[in-house]
């Protein structure tokens, strides 16, 4: 039901919140909203352009004789206009005469929908037409303790996950076509969440959505906003959580977007040394401006409230921590340092507002070594729920990239990740960034002949399972994709049924079943007592062994053994903490093998008992420790 224009008029209270940086519901008034006035239906338009000399509304899909339509300036630099006869689906722009005397044609910063690129106009959309069916999922998720629950994330780019050129020239499937197929697939694989890249509207496909122009608009490549709501709804009804990649650090320089919106550096800093991020060729957001903070935090809350997004993965957090990020020349803060103080305050305000107003989860993609990213704000941290463990990804892949004969010299890359495994609440990513730009696929990173590569990849995935932290894998890598990712083509699904590739895919399914079955693999990721080395120093043989367990008990504990060389060690033995029968529950070489071994009362590796499982070349093993009734008194 359409609301009266009085529901959207900018008030003195709105002005106060906007200028304090705390107007977290700004999207409910700014932008284009279907409304009525004097019994006429139409659309109420509103835009913030405080330094503009004049703002006109341009209706792109209406008769030219109605253009331009002058908007009325209100308090706080907001311009408003009600236009009868305009309806959902009509496109529009703002013609802004800036403070510098230049007229610019701008898209609406608060647009809820946009034309398909290369068109640039905004599109009127209604926030109140979709009927959600995910109430049961939402009720369950509110009571879920995610840090202590299984979390296996499938990172997806919808435009290249599946394509069909018989449907459209681009081959893009719609949100409604993709939803049931993706829901069925991730459920069959054992994932708990999908993470979507490239959803916020963006003009250039090659940016993958990380140079965003639509902070409130799902990309029109796959449909309209209600189609995306259907997509999220469908995944929720299948029990799958949805994570959205979101970029509050920077935006592209495109003239039609936020750049010099009212003839001044409105969204970007005025300081020329700080206005750009040269390494990306983009403009930085000025987080010192309260209105910019209102804009960005409103965007985060909008996605969670209006699209039921479960979590937001905040991109490029390091760019909001350091003034020097991506810059050869930079201006210091007021204390003479490189810390971006305003960005730090923004991040704390962002996570605080999201947690106060929604049930959403905040994830940091952060390449810095600054501590406390996942520490609560009240304790001096930044309030994120999780942080991507880019150090683990980088160091682990350095090790796996080496020929086995040289891995002994890089053994510490593999083992020292456990030294900081409990400093934050981590997600262990094997992401899209690692399979592009000549970095090779996950399979391609594995050295040696094909059989070695498949075996090595399964070891990598088992190591990811065993290491403390939640799990994330980019699409295609679950079946050992051979081609680097290209956003312009579908991943190579034909490989998934071929020998080697299907073994890797089956391995992923098996591992996620074990992940959900054994609480020691997910419930204690923030407790250092849940991890115990058995052998971290056997670099010459490329072997490691460790336990995952409950912090104060061995009940349900698991022993992990890895041989990262092609050499078989038939007589290999390792120390174990308990007597009794150890049950093998997985082998990357013989997945179906079930055997039991008894521990001998012989000291080894600092333990009182010894197990002699042997290790085949490139084998990783999981043993379940003896249950209480199996144990014999020493």
Q: How far apart are CA 425 and CA 416, in angstroms?
A: 17
Catalytic, 624? Answer no
Look up residue 573 and give its two tokens: 């033995």
Report the length, in residues, of the chain. Answer: 634
- Domains with residue ranges and CATH for the chain: 3-123 (2.60.40.10), 150-521 (3.20.20.80), 528-630 (2.60.40.1180)
Asked if the model's pLDDT at residue 132 lies above 70, the reply is: yes
Give 15: exposed, middle or buried? Use CB within 10 Å, 0-12, 13-18, 19+. Answer: middle
**Phi and psi dihedrals of 315, rounded to 5?**
-80, 150
Three-state secondary structure string covering 367-379:
CCCCCCCCCCHHH
Whether this model's pTM surpasses 0.85: yes
**pLDDT (mean) for 586-604:** 95
- pLDDT band at 143; cut points 50, 70, 90: confident
Q: Identify the residue whose tokens are 């367990």.
A: 549
Look up residue 388 and give its two tokens: 């991507």
Asked if the model's pLDDT at residue 197 lies above 70, the reply is: yes
Q: How far apart are CA 501 and CA 453, in angstroms?
A: 11
pLDDT tens, residue by residue, 347-384: 999 999 999 999 999 999 999 999 999 999 999 999 99
- The pLDDT > 70 percentage for the chain reads 98
Per DSSP, the residues of 141-195 read HHT--GGGS--EEEEEEHHHHSB-TTT-TT-BPPHHHHHHHHHHHHHHHT-SEEE
- pLDDT band at 65; cut points 50, 70, 90: low
Range name among 64-78, 258-272, 395-409, 449-463 with the lowest pLDDT average: 64-78
Asked if the model's pLDDT at residue 64 lies above 70, the reply is: no
**pLDDT (mean) for 102-127:** 97
Please tell me which residue in 14, 201, 342, 365 is annotated as part of the active site: 365
pLDDT tens, residue by residue, 205-258: 999 999 999 999 999 999 999 999 999 999 999 999 999 999 999 999 999 999
Residue-level pLDDT at 261: 98
Query: What's the helix, strand, coil split of the chain in %, to 5?
Result: 30, 25, 45
Give 499: exposed, middle or buried? Use CB within 10 Å, 0-12, 13-18, 19+. Answer: exposed
pLDDT tens, residue by residue, 464-514: 999 999 999 999 999 999 999 999 999 999 999 999 999 999 999 999 999
Residue-level pLDDT at 629: 67
Nearest-CA neighbor of 195 among 246, 146, 140? 246
Distance of CA 241 to the CA centre of its chain: 12
Contact call for residues 599 and 610 (beta carbons, < 8 A): yes
- pLDDT band at 13; cut points 50, 70, 90: very high
pLDDT tens, residue by residue, 281-292: 999 999 999 999
Asked if the model's pLDDT at residue 549 lies above 80, the reply is: yes
**pLDDT (mean) for 532-543:** 97
Residue-level pLDDT at 1: 62
Which residues fall within 8 angstroms of residue 102, CB to CB, at 6 or more apart? Answer: 263
Residue-level pLDDT at 438: 94
Look up residue 406 and give its two tokens: 């040289």
Strand-by-strand arrangement of the 282-284 sheet: 250-251, 282-284, 276-277
Catalytic, 555? Answer no
Residue-level pLDDT at 169: 82
Q: How far apart are CA 114 and CA 462, in angstroms?
A: 42
**pLDDT (mean) for 168-194:** 96
- pLDDT band at 63; cut points 50, 70, 90: low
Per DSSP, the residues of 220-247 read GGG--HHHHHHHHHHHHHTT-EEEEEE-
- pLDDT band at 4; cut points 50, 70, 90: confident
Which residues fall within 8 angstroms of residue 244, CB to CB, at 6 or more apart? Answer: 195, 196, 199, 200, 303, 307, 309, 311, 312, 313
Please tell me which residue in 315, 395, 510, 619 is annotated as part of the active site: 315
**pLDDT (mean) for 154-178:** 93
Strand-strand pairing, 470-474 and 426-430: parallel
């Amino acid at each position: 039901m359409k609301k009266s224009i009085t529901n959207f008029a900018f008030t003195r209270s709105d002005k106060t919140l906007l200028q304090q940086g705390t107007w977290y519901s700004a999207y409910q008034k700014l932008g284009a909203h279907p409304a009525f006035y004097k019994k006429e239906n139409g659309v109420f338009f509103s835009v913030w352009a405080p330094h503009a000399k004049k703002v006109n509304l341009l209706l792109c899909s209406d008769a030219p004789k109605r253009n331009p339509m002058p908007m009325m300036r209100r308090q706080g630099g907001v311009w408003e206009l009600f236009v009868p006869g305009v309806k959902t689906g009509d496109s529009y722009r703002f013609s802004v005469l800036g403070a510098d005397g230049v007229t610019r044609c701008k898209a609406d910063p608060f647009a809820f929908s946009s034309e398909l690129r290369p068109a640039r106009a905004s599109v009127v959309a209604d926030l109140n037409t979709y009927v959600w069916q995910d109430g049961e999922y939402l009720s369950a998720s509110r009571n879920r303790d995610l840090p202590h629950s299984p979390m296996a994330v499938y990172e997806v780019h919808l435009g290249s996950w599946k394509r069909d050129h018989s449907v459209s020239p681009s081959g893009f499937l719609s949100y409604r076509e993709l939803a049931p197929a993706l829901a069925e697939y991730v459920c069959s694989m054992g994932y708990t969440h999908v993470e979507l890249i490239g959803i916020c509207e963006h003009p250039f496909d090659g940016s993958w959505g990380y140079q965003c122009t639509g902070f409130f608009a799902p990309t029109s490549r796959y449909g309209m906003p209600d189609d995306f709501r259907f997509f999220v709804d469908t995944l929720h009804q299948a029990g799958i959580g949805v994570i959205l990649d979101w970029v509050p650090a920077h935006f592209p320089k495109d003239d039609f977007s936020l750049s010099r919106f009212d003839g001044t550096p409105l969204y970007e800093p005025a300081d020329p040394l700080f206005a750009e991020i040269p390494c990306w060729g983009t403009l930085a957001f000025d987080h010192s401006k309260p209105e910019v903070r209102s804009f960005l935090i409103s965007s985060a809350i909008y996605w969670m409230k209006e699209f039921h997004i479960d979590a937001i993965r905040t991109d490029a957090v390091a760019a909001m921590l350091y003034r020097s990020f991506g810059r050869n020349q930079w201006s210091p803060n007021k204390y003479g340092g490189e810390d971006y103080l305003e960005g730090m305050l923004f991040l704390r305000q962002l996570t605080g507002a999201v947690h106060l107003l929604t049930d959403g989860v905040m994830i940091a993609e952060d390449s810095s070594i600054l501590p406390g990213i996942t520490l609560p704000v009240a304790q001096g941290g930044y309030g994120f729920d999780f942080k991507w463990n880019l150090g683990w990804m980088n160091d682990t892949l350095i090790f796996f990239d080496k020929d086995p004969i040289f891995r002994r010299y890089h053994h510490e890359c593999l083992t020292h990740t456990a030294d900081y495994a409990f400093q934050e609440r981590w997600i262990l990513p094997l992401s899209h960034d690692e399979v592009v730009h000549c970095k090779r696929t996950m399979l391609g990173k594995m050295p040696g002949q094909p059989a070695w590569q498949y075996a090595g990849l399964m070891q990598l995935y088992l190591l990811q399972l065993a290491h403390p932290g939640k799990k994330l894998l980019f699409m295609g890598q679950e079946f050992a994709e051979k081609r680097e990712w290209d956003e312009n083509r579908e991943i190579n699904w034909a490989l998934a049924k071929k020998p080697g590739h299907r073994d890797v895919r089956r391995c992923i399914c098996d591992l996620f079943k074990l992940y959900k079955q054994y609480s020691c693999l997910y419930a204690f990721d923030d407790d250092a007592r849940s991890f115990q080395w058995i052998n971290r120093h056997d670099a010459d043989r490329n072997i490691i062994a460790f336990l995952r367990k409950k912090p104060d008990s061995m009940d349900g504990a698991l022993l992990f053994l890895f041989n990262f060389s092609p050499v078989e060690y038939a007589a290999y033995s390792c120390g174990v903490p308990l007597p009794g029968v150890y049950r093998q529950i997985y082998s990357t070489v013989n997945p179906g093998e079930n055997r039991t071994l008894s521990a001998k009362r012989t000291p080894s590796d600092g333990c009182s008992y010894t197990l002699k499982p042997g290790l085949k070349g490139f084998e990783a093993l999981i043993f379940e420790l003896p249950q209480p009734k199996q144990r014999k008194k020493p």
